[in-house]
Amino acid sequence: MSGNIRLYNTSGYVELQAPSSASAQVLELPTDSIKPALVHLHTENFSAVSSVSVDDVFSSEYENYRLILDTTSTANVEWSLRLRVSGADNSTANSYVTQKLTASASTVSGSRTTHDNWSFGEHQNVQGNGHDAIIWRPFAAEKTSFWNNTAATASNAYLSIRTGTHNQATSYDGFTIYQASGTFSGTLRIYGYRNS
């Protein structure tokens, strides 16, 4: 058994045989199959701003993207998001549709808006807020959709779930998040999903 390796488990073992020649002694790992499915692309730190724009983050390399935000704000206010290409926001009237579901204590409510932006999330009670969002196929020249969950860390838990579509068949490389009043601070991390 010299040169062999045995891997044991509760029902026995598997034995790896030593190679028959010196040239066969190199172990090659299948590098593509061990790449992570979720790839970190960009981190944006910001302080006391009214908007954050990120350019050149969407590309043909990934179809779908995840945004994770940790934020605080000086106001109880909703966020908006516009898709962006070549450094310019798309603000076409009535091109963004948002469906919103909110829950605070025992009160649950829903609404739909059609506007020049997505109603993307909100700050509650001027506390820390966590935001988790997925944007589907923004770089493809077709309609784009999103999903977002906001959880406030104030003393009274607050939940806001939103989903929406953008009806412009345009390829976007970035986005802008902004709020109507006050400023916000925090960290935005952007990830791309690998298809295989």
Task: Tell me what pLDDT residue 1 has.
Answer: 45
Say if 70 falls within a structural domain: yes
Residue owning tokens 């944007």:
135
pTM of the model: 0.79
Name the least confident of 13-17, 53-57, 142-146: 13-17
* Rounded Cα gap, residues 49 and 186, in angstroms: 10
Q: How confident is the model at residue 30 (pLDDT cuts 50, 70, 90)?
A: low
Residue 134 has pLDDT above 50, yes or no: yes
Copy the structure tokens of residue 13. Answer: 């073992």
Q: Does residue 63 belong to any structural domain of this protein?
A: yes
- 190 pLDDT band (50/70/90 cuts)? very high
pLDDT of residue 23: 58
Tokens of 166: 């953008």
The whole domain housing 161 covers 36-193
In the chain, the number of structural domains is 1
Residue 17 lies in a domain: no
In a domain, 2, yes or no: no
Segment 42-57, tens digit of pLDDT: 999 999 999 999 999 9
Quote the pLDDT of residue 109. Answer: 93
| Higher-scoring residue by pLDDT: 58, 22 | 58
Distance, in Å, from the CA atom of 195 to the CA atom of 184, rounded to the nearest integer, reads: 34
Convert the pLDDT of each residue in 72-88 to its tens digit: 888 888 889 999 999 99
- Please provide the average confidence, as pLDDT, over all residues in the chain: 85
CATH code of residue 146: 2.60.120
**CA-closest candidate to residue 65, choices 167, 133, 129:** 133
Other CB atoms within 10 Å distance of the CB of residue 52: 18
H/E element, 108: strand 107-115
- Answer whether residue 11 is part of any domain: no
Q: How confident is the model at residue 165 (pLDDT cuts 50, 70, 90)?
A: very high
The per-residue pLDDT for range 95-128, each reduced to its tens digit, is 999 999 988 778 899 999 999 999 888 776 666 6
| Domain presence at residue 81 | yes
Burial of 67 (0-12, 13-18, 19+ CB in 10 A): buried
